[in-house]
Amino acid sequence: MLIQGKAHKYGDHIDTDVIIPARYLNTTDPDELAGHCMEDIDSDFLSKVARGDVMVAGKNFGCGSSREHAPIAIKAAGIAVVIAESFARIFYRNAFNIGLPLIESAEAAAGISDGDEVEVSLEEGVVRNLTTGEEYAFAPITGIAAELLEVGGLRERVRQQLVGQ
């Protein structure tokens, strides 16, 4: 899968409370959640983001609450992939479970600036910064995470497993 879009860059320890504040967790509607994504730290995010864009951040992205509403809001807002130096573990599981790919790359996270045009090939394991011409290799996604992306998430994986039983 080839992803191309604009980078929206944030710092370290972006927690799930700022990705989607708890005051909006009285709904499960992805579009309604997307309507409040990042609003407490970046009130312009929704007016800037376009389908296929890329979110870039520092260490420990998605720390805090286990709310799956966080990756759901990011995905429904149009973000196709999140690149970070590192991810919090519950967010990591949740993202792949709903079919939102994540890339762990300290080099890409450091080298990409807000607003850069970025291209990502998940198969090749390469992030290209089209604005600066730099390239960053990352270890291709394998194992359970790759399986989840391929079948379209954990729901489908479990459904198939139950059919097989």
Instruction: Name 16's Cβ contacts closer than 8 Å, sequence gap at least 6.
Output: 62, 63, 64, 65, 66, 67, 69, 70, 91
- Judged by CB under 8 A, does residue 132 bind other proteins? no
In the bound state with other proteins, the residue whose beta carbon lies nearer, of 6 and 157, is 157
- Judged by CB under 8 A, does residue 145 bind other proteins? no
* Strand order across the 2-9 sheet: 102-104, 81-84, 54-57, 2-9, 117-121, 126-129, 135-137
- Judged by CB under 8 A, does residue 162 bind other proteins? yes
The site map against other proteins for 22-61 (x = CB under 8 A) is xx-xxxx-----------xx-----------------xx-
Q: How far is the CB of 36 from other proteins (least distance, A)?
A: 11
- Of 98, 91, 105, the closest CA to residue 54 belongs to 105
Instruction: Name 156's Cβ contacts closer than 8 Å, sequence gap at least 6.
Output: none
Q: Which residues bind other proteins (CB under 8 A)?
A: 13, 15, 17-18, 21-23, 25-28, 40-41, 59-60, 63-69, 72, 86, 88-90, 93-94, 97-98, 143-144, 153-155, 158-159, 161-163
